[in-house]
């Protein structure tokens, strides 16, 4: 490894730098830079819920699906910038909006079924 | 502990099989245009407008009957997105079942935002009573 202070080459397990004496054990690792199109190694992957956001937009409710897609974009952007905490927050928001869309879809379906049943009942009543 | 994990996995697998196959069977058997078992889109019902997803079910029904042209006419954007969505869904299912999904392609945030703009423009274009935009309305390309 190289000393982050003076750049001197050191053994990987060195405790202090041979040249400037800086403590090498306390060095904070630099977050890996994510570049577009890069395949993430397993374990480093993060769900951005893009697929579910798209499904929510197409099948449930575009009004709540679009925010989910925007948050999915934000999650990817922050991950690419190395901001893992920000990416996680955006990913959680994307997930939330996906669930909201799903809820709207379910409520709509249930309301539809209720309306049909009401229609059937009133039809029976009037006949 | 291990048994509980196994049981949970089996439940997840069963739920996935149900969620994955039930819509395919329903959409293969029933035509959303005529059968009435699928609820109409509330947006279409209340406003009369075509949303970006309008025609998706009819497109899936056509696709499951091998009618590619009909599927394309019903919702071209959905047909374009279908391979990507399928890949993502399979990946999400594998992630849940065995801990890692298919190789994940990191889409740049710009592309996803651009996709959002495309969806909104698509929604507007489908509702314009103006050639050639009106061809994007569900089924319009069938009457060329």
**What is the per-residue pLDDT across A84-110, written as a single tens digit (0 to 9) for each?**
888 999 999 999 999 999 999 888 888
- Which is higher by pLDDT, A8 or B52? B52
pTM of the model as a whole? 0.72
SS3 assignment, position A124: helix
pLDDT at B125: 94
Predicted-complex ipTM score: 0.79
Q: What CA–CA distance (Å, rounded) separates B16 from A123?
A: 39
DSSP state of B142: G
In tens, the pLDDT along B18-57 reads 888 998 999 999 998 888 778 777 788 888 899 898 999 9
- Average pLDDT over chain B reads 88
| pLDDT given for residue A38 in this prediction | 44
In tens, the pLDDT along B100-135 reads 778 877 888 899 999 999 999 999 999 999 889 989
Q: In this predicted model, which residue has the larger pLDDT, B122 or A21?
A: B122
How far is residue B85 CA from its own chain's centroid? Answer: 8
pLDDT band at B1 (very low <50, low <70, confident <90, very high): low
Burial of B66 (0-12, 13-18, 19+ CB in 10 A): exposed
pLDDT of residue B45: 81
Instruction: Looking at the complex, report in whole angstroms how far the Cα of residue A99 sits from the nearest Cα belonging to chain B.
Output: 16
pLDDT > 90? residue B75: yes
Tokens of A96: 């939330």
| Residue A61 to residue B53: CA distance in whole angstroms | 9
Mean pLDDT score, A121-127: 73
Distance from CA of B64 to the nearest CA of A (A): 17
Mean pLDDT of all residues belonging to chain A: 79
Kindly list the residues of chain B whose beta carbon comes within 8 Å of any beta carbon in chain A: 39-40, 42-43, 51-53, 56, 78, 81, 84-85, 88-89, 91-92, 95, 100-101, 103-110, 112-113, 115-116, 119-120, 123
pLDDT digits 0-9 by tens, A23-50: 777 655 444 444 544 445 444 556 778 8
pLDDT for the residue numbered A23: 77
Q: Per the CB < 8 Å rule, is A37 touching B81? A: no
């Amino acid at each position: 490894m190289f000393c982050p202070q003076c750049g001197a080459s050191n053994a990987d397990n060195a405790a202090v730098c041979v040249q400037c004496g800086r403590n090498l054990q306390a060095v904070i690792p630099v977050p890996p830079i994510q570049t577009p199109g890069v395949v993430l190694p397993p374990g480093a992957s993060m769900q951005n819920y893009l697929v579910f956001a798209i499904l929510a937009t197409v099948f449930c409710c575009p009004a709540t699906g679009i925010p989910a897609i925007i948050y999915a974009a934000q999650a990817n952007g922050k991950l690419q910038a190395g901001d893992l905490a920000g990416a996680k927050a955006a990913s959680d928001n994307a997930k939330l909006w996906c669930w909201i869309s799903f809820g709207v879809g379910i409520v709509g379906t249930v309301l539809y079924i209720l309306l049909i049943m009401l229609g059937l009942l009133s039809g029976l009543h009037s006949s | 502990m291990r048994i509980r994990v196994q049981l949970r996995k089996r439940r997840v697998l069963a739920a996935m099989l149900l969620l994955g196959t039930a819509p395919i069977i329903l959409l293969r058997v029933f035509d959303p245009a005529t059968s009435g078992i699928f609820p109409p889109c509330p947006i279409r019902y209340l406003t009369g407008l075509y949303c970006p997803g309008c025609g998706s079910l009819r497109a899936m029904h056509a696709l499951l009957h091998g009618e590619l042209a009909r599927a394309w006419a019903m919702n071209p954007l959905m047909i374009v997105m279908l391979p990507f969505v399928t890949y993502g869904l399979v990946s999400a299912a594998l992630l849940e079942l065995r801990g890692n999904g298919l190789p994940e392609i990191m889409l740049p945030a710009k592309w996803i935002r651009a996709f959002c703009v495309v969806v909104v423009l698509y929604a507007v274009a489908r509702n314009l009573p103006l050639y050639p935009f009106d061809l994007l309305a569900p089924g319009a390309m069938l009457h060329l």
